[in-house]
Every structure is written in C-alpha cells, then in structure tokens.
Structure 1
C-alpha cells in the first residue's frame, strides 16, 4: 500500500526532497469523509490580494519553499493514508505499527535533528508536520511527538556518540518504537517529586532501577524506554532501557476514551539492572526532561490547531449542505458567528506558533513562550471542537463525522505535557515573580 503511495508523482517528489536532506546531513450532512485540502492557498501575481479563509492571515507567505514542500508531502500522506484508517482504529482501539514506519520513510520522525538519518528541517516545518498529522488524529500526532521530541531528542542532546549511532537511525526509520517515562502515579506535574530510584552498584558498574511510571504513550509496544530516575545523591538522571530487560514490564492501560489509536500504558521496574553506560551522561536534573517536554509542547501547540481546523472544515461543509426551512444552515447569523470566531482564534494562534518557531531556530525562545502557546492552542482548540460538534446537532456525536473523536482526543491533549492550569501557573510566576505551586 505504502509502496504504491510513494510511486505517485507528488509524493515521490516530496519523499526524494526529504530523504535527500537526510542523506546530505547524515554521519454535508451527506458524507463521512473528512474534507479534502487540495485547494491549498497559493500566491498570486495579481495586484488585488484575495482573502483566503483557510489562511486568513497569509501564513503561507511567511513559509520557505522547503517548509511548504514538507507540509504538502505530509498532508498528502495523512489525507490519503491515515484518514481512511482512523475511524476503525479509533473504534477498535487498534495500533498500527506500520504508521510509524511510513512516517519514517517520509523523513517525518526526528525531523529537526541533523544527521543520523534525520533531515534537519526548521522548527516551523516540524510544527507543520504535527499540524497535518493531528488534522487526522491526535493519537497519530502523539506517537510522532513521543518518538521525535521525547525519545530521539534526548539521545541527540544528552547521549554519547555510541548511543546516538546505535539508536537514532533506527528510531528515525520507525524500526524501533520509543517511549518516555517521566510521569508517575504520585508525580505528574511535579517531576521533582518522582520516586523511581536508580542505585549505583559499584561491584559491576551497573544501576538497579526500581519504580513505576504511568500514562506513558507507546510503552506497551516500545522497544526502547527512556526512564527518568533519582540516583543516590537525589539527582534526576535519564536511562536507556531496552525491551525484554529482566524486571521491566509495560502493561497497557485499558478503557481509554481518548487517543484510542495509540497505545498507552505503564512502565513497571523491579530490580532492573542496566549497565552504567545506559545513562544519558549530559542529562542532569530537570533540564533533561524539561528540554524534551518543551520540544513536545511546541509540536502539540501546532498539532492541536490542526484538529481544530479539521473540525471547522467539517462544520462548514455540513452547514452549507444541510438545509433547514429551505435555506442552508450556513445562512444563519449564529452559524456564521461561530465559524468566524473559530477561524479568528485558529489564525491568531498559528501566527503566534510561527513567530515562536522562528525565535526557536535562533535560540531566542523561552519555556514560558512554549507554555503560552501550548496553553492557548490546546484550550482554544478544545473549545472550537466542542462548538463545531454542537453545530452538527445530533450528527455531531457520530464518529463518521470525525468531530466527536477530535473532541475526545483534545481532552487528553489539553491535559498532558502540562495541564491548562499548570501552564497558567508557569506564566503567573513569570508575570509576578512569585511561585504559587509547590
């Protein structure tokens, strides 16, 4: 299936472009289909500027040729190959490992990293990738984010050259699936209070790890676990654990009503012995996990807006086709206001995300900026999806119209990587200089 996809002229062009970058840097109420996005905004040589509601503030004009190429390749793949799968994957709570491999073949995993089989694209390109993937489903974007920002990035930033060579190329292709173990049953938004321990065993130069992690994306299917634990002096350090290590188990969390197309589980560690060489040597204290979380939050800020855009597109098409008293629903003032409000919020948020992406590439962004983006995008996107679901009336709760699935997903997206309120407290501290949480 995917081989046939790659033979299409458009995707073949995009795939060659992405993989060339990697090589050169390597050491209506009538249907259930989500709307098509073939009518992409394009520049015009005509003197009159046309308002394009899908790109209300002309984001397109601020993107580079490479960023547009990456986005379009990702959009084509997501709409052609991910969208047809998602309804049944969500209904049956099934995970398709081939999705990660397909993303890897397009250069979408670890896309901002340079070398080791990664293309080294801009932060904006990474955001655009997240946006297109989550336009289909947040579960697919979560898998992408974990692999890229929470697994590949810490190895790239804090690992030894041997660790980088061993793991990053295989993670980039999707051959290996990774997960990130930070959150614990008693320590979610307060990682400094984590209880997982890693005690040094001098006799054989190993660490013995004990503890548990919960709500870990990909853990039931992971080949590689990045686990954060406190060593003997109380410092938080990161460790690389491989599947089938004695004492390591990853039971699945059942009964989720959100992110059902990606597996979520726990990580249980009972006297897990790992060599000292499995430690990430440059990750000491909270800097290690927070570096990863800030990267993931940045992608989430873009991704959530993709979900909101999908819901607006669906609601618009529905209200144009649904007739009431001889007129389309879209002809009513209330519907038009709801659509206008949604497009306004999405457009402003996208411009903000792009601005911070440019700052990020110049090393001029701050964690507080990322918190602001994550909080705004997720909160506004959840609100928009709820309103668009209401616009569809009774049909809004049918998964064939997609919106209810986006609503359910965004409940989780608004919570993980720092809740809406936790990010408010991060910003509140920056504004007042007073820490209000302990």
Structure 2
C-alpha cells in the first residue's frame, strides 16, 4: 500500500472519530491496552466483536442445535428418493394434521376432511406390488409409520389398519378377483377397511379360542358373534371378520360389506387413548356372507398370523414415532421454559431426563431399522417382530413419562403436545399382542419350550 493511500485512510478514519466519546472512553479504560488486545485478535474473533458492537453491545441470542430425534442419523442410510418421501409425509403431518389433532382428539372424532389429502400422498399399501400400490420397501413403510406417529398416533393407527391389516389381509390371502375388486380403491382411500379379530372375551387367546362362528350353508356362510376394539369399524366399507368354522374348527376370514344384514357396529366411548380412532363393537347376528367373499387363502390361524407378523413390525415403528414426538416436544419446551432466570434445559436434572429419553429412542430406532431390513430380506420371524414390539412399546412408556415429567404441570395440557403421547402410548403398548404374549413368543424361540397354556 502506498504512503499517500495510508495517509488518505488515516485522514478518513480521523474524520469519523467522535473525539468527545474517545475522551470519555479514555477516562474509563487504558486505551493502549485495549488496542493491544484488539490487535491480537484473529479474523474470526474480530468479526464476532464487530457483530456484538453492531448490536449495541447486547450479546447475541445463543444459537442452539436443531431439534432432531434421529441422533444417529439413520435417515442418511435412506436413498434420496426415500428421504424425499419421508419429508413429504412429515410436511403433511405437520401442516395438515398437527393444527387439527388436539381438537379432534379431545372430541373423540375423526378428521374425515384429511382423508382425500392423505390419498394424494399415494402411500397406502406402500409395500404391495400392483393394484396401484407404490411397491416400496418394508423399511420405507416403517419410516412412514414413524413419521405419522411422531405427530399423532391415532392417525398412524388409522393408516395402519387401512394399509396394513385390512389391505394386507386381502393382498396376502385374497383371491385375484377379491384383490382386483378391493385393493385399487382402498389404495386411493375411496374405500375404507377394518380388521375384526379381537372379541369382548377373547384377545390374546384368538389362535384357538375365537367364539365368533361361521357355518357353511350352500354357497354362503352364516356368521354369529361379537368383535371388540375394531378400529375404523364405524365407517368402514369392508370389515375383515375372522371366525371359527364350526365344521372343521379352523379360523377363516370373511369380507363383510358395509350395511350387510345382520351386521351392527356401535362406537366405543370413553377411551383415554387413541381417541381419534373410531373403535367399534361389532355384533354379527345370522350375518350372511357369500362364498365369493370368503378370503380364499385364509384356511387357519396360521394364515391370520402371517398378516399380524407383518403389521406387528409396523406397530413397533409407531411406538418409535410416539416416543420421538414426545421427546422432541419436551426438548423444545425445556429450551423455551425459564425458571430461576434461565432455561430449564440448562439444569443438570433436566439434561439427565432428556439424555435418558434420547438413549431409549435411539435404541428403539436402531432396532426397528434392522427389523425392517430383515423383513426386506424375507428373514423376518414372529419372534423378531414380537421382540421389537415388546421392547419399543415398553421403552416408549418410559420416554413419554419423562417427557411429561420435564414439563411439570404443563405436561398434562393438550396444547403442549405431550399429554396425547402419554395416553396414546398405553394403547400402543397393548394392541397387536400384549407384552406378556409377545414375550412368550420370544421365550419359546430362544428356549425351545412353549409356555403358552
């Protein structure tokens, strides 16, 4: 730099100096020492100093890390196409479902206006091939179940019944004619399905103790009995009814159409969990179904179990989503909520709770990720699915409990988006096989002995 240019810059600087302010500063500090310290700062430190001075001496708000329950970055193992679909479903859940969910959950009503919007995502029957279905991986199905449950477990359950249990029964066990008739419209959510297995007095003992009966009468079957806790039943166009054939004592499946004479569905009231899900008590009184509406490949409970094995993995993913939603909402709350003059997230006990939650969540995520990989490799067994269902639903209860804990009294208010997860976790813990039954399935596999009665 030339001598004259230096003189020019010095003169320019001198013109902009407030001499009075400089004199006031000199009376308070050693300007020489200040200049010496400033001259020793590197470029990054100087930039930080200038930004602070530009903000009139006020320190900048601390930049916090993003809130992300995927601590081990499992989403990076997905393809770009899969990640794009994940983001698409997440956006739908956050923009369309989240604003409505507390209102509908409180009123125990279903948001029917969201069904056409869900259909536009084109994800129903996500793993099936043909019939308009996307033909994606089981891993992708799990990721989507998690994304739904991360915002609302009820909506995830509705989708799981439609896409998994109802469509899955037809896809795996139906005739070609039945698949052609039902699956395309169910994939577009033009027709809604339900899955009727559990009974008022028979839950875990469904394999050999169904009291709902089916009696062949020429080209028809006459069904009698009751089913309980049947999701989507109050508005379903078709309900898969599982009944015991009185002649051969085997469990068979039937497609019972809406408004069939002898079919009555009553909405179950006063639930404390999954309140958006419309569970029905089904009564079948001499309900006649044609042979063409019997699932042609469903000839024993072993066939029913094939469907349950597939969907049990999805329930484990839903548990992960429920836990993730609770954790992320709780983390956000602790960073915003202040006590004793600072965010409660800065306190040791709060951080301990959050780390315990994240530890459980991360263990669950890695487990179900591997579970779906086994499913895609056609290596999934009943005990694989059962172990994941046991562990994930159990750990989810712990996560949501801690999420409620760190929020204090606000944890029981719907507006803070954790109370729903606390309640809904209880339903996920029990449906698709209790902890005890699934534990015995795993126990039989590892010991070689069956502890079932």
Give TM-score, length-normalised by structure 1: 0.86
Structure 1 position 291 matched with structure 2 position 324:
no
Structure 1 position 131 matched with structure 2 position 146:
yes
- Indicate if the aligned counterparts of 2:383 and 2:441 stay in contact, CA closer than 8 A: yes
Structure 1 position 219 matched with structure 2 position 214:
no
SS at match of 1:165: helix
Look up the match of 2:52. none
Q: Which deviates further from its counterpart, 336-345 or 242-251?
A: 336-345
- Indicate if the aligned counterparts of 2:173 and 2:303 stay in contact, CA closer than 8 A: yes
Structure 1 position 228 matched with structure 2 position 242:
yes
Q: CA deviation at 1:40?
A: 12
- Indicate if the aligned counterparts of 2:69 and 2:327 stay in contact, CA closer than 8 A: no
SS at match of 2:296: strand
Deviations 1:186-227 (A, max 9, x none): 21011120011111112xx11111111001101111110100
Give the 5 Å matches for 1:173-252: 173-191=188-206, 192-202=208-218, 205-231=219-245, 232-252=247-267
Look up the match of 2:166. 151
CA distance in 2, matches of 1:425, 1:140: 30
CA distance in 1, matches of 2:151, 2:123: 15
Q: CA deviation at 1:313?
A: 1.3
Look up the match of 1:45. none
Give TM-score, length-normalised by structure 2: 0.83
Structure 1 position 66 matched with structure 2 position 88:
no
Q: CA deviation at 1:376?
A: 1.1
Look up the match of 2:100. 85
Look up the match of 1:35. none
SS at match of 1:215: strand
1:364 to 379, 382, 399: 379
Deviations 1:155-185 (A, max 9, x none): 1111111101110011111111111010011
Look up the match of 2:330. 315
Higher relative contact order (CA 8 A, sep 6+): 1
CA distance in 2, matches of 1:58, 1:84: 28
Give the 5 Å matches for 1:3-402: 54-191=69-206, 192-202=208-218, 205-231=219-245, 232-402=247-417
CA distance in 1, matches of 2:176, 2:418: 44
CA distance in 2, matches of 1:269, 1:101: 31
SS at match of 1:189: coil
- Indicate if the aligned counterparts of 1:53 and 1:343 stay in contact, CA closer than 8 A: no
